[in-house]
Structure formats: C-alpha cells, structure tokens
Chains A and B, each alone.
Chain A
C-alpha cells in the first residue's frame, strides 16, 4: 500500500503569511493527489484534485503542485478562515494531516 507523509504536522502562522504544506508518497502516484481542508466538527472539504486543479468555488489563494512522489499545497496569503487542518489523499490513503494555527 502507498503511504502518504505530510509535513509539517503542525504550523503556526499569521494572517497574510504564505504557507506551504508538503505530502510525500512512498512510491510514484502520477498526479492522483487531492487536498482537503477540515474545520472542527465539520466534514472535510475538497480544495485541489489531480494535484493542481482547483475545485470549483475554492479561493485562488489555494494552489497545488507536484507529481510522482512529492506534492505541495500552498496558501498564498493566509486568511482568518484558513485556520484548519489540511489532509492529502491518494485513492485509499490519507496523509496524517497538518494543523494550521494562528501565531
């Protein structure tokens, strides 16, 4: 089975900061990677699929890149509503999550 490793697992940032989260796969997965945002008590929300395609309705400050085994989610300018936990996913595997908190 493919393992996904996210880093960091926790980050503290300020409004307006540029934030980058990395997801590494244990073997090549082409571009079949998705990113989700989850807020406490809520279901996850799809942000990015196919590694770099922005889901409809998601703000353009979110972007995804990468292929093969290394992928990144970038938030260009962190907004108050972006403080949440982020997960990457490939088919039957999720990363461990990255919690983004206010500095």
Chain B
C-alpha cells in the first residue's frame, strides 16, 4: 500500500524553527517528485514547495521562499521541510504528497499541524 506519514508538527513561537518529515512506503520513492502543501485553519489549499526525484529541481511559493528548505533522502525514503523564521500566518496543517507525471499529486499524507503562536 502506498503510504505517506508526516511528523514533526507542533507549537512554536514566532521566529522559531521546525523540521517536518514525511516517511514514504509502498512505492519507489526515488522515482517520484514530492510536494508539501498546507492548509490554514478554515482556509483552502496552498502549495508550499516541490522537489524533483533526484533533488535537481526545487521550487518554493513566494510566501515561504528564503525561510523554508525542502530536501529528501532517497536512501531513507524520506522527505523533509525545514521551516525557519516562522510567522503566525504559517499556522496550518502541512501535507506531503507524491507528484504524478501527468500532473496532480497522489496520495497525500494525513497531515501534521504546525501552530505558530506566542
């Protein structure tokens, strides 16, 4: 079964840092691009960042550029999101999701909640 499991969320103060992880199983992780997507409470979906299968191509939303860093370890079947200089507006459920060749992402993990508050 293809599965993605996020971890690392929690409560952090403004200006703080957090590292999210996403453990993949059930598919050849090194063959797929991966994505982080977030959803603020009661709001819609926002794409955050993408990384190609070999880490050659990396993209960020303008809202997180310079503060967040996406990375992956294909040997460990894991995706990461290092989040620095966190702001209240970064409060959201963060999902990792596998990229598909013809567009779209599937599946999604269950999400991990990040709360930025003093």
Contact = CB atoms under 8 A, between A and B. Distances in A.
Interface of A: 1, 31-34, 36, 38, 43-46, 48-50, 53, 55, 87, 89-97
B45 interface: yes
Interface of B: 37, 44-47, 50, 59, 61-62, 95, 100, 102-111
A44 B102 contact: no
Contacts of A45: 108
A68 B45 CA distance: 22
A34 B110 contact: no
B44 A44 contact: no
Contacts of B111: 43
Contacts of A36: 45
B100 A49 contact: yes
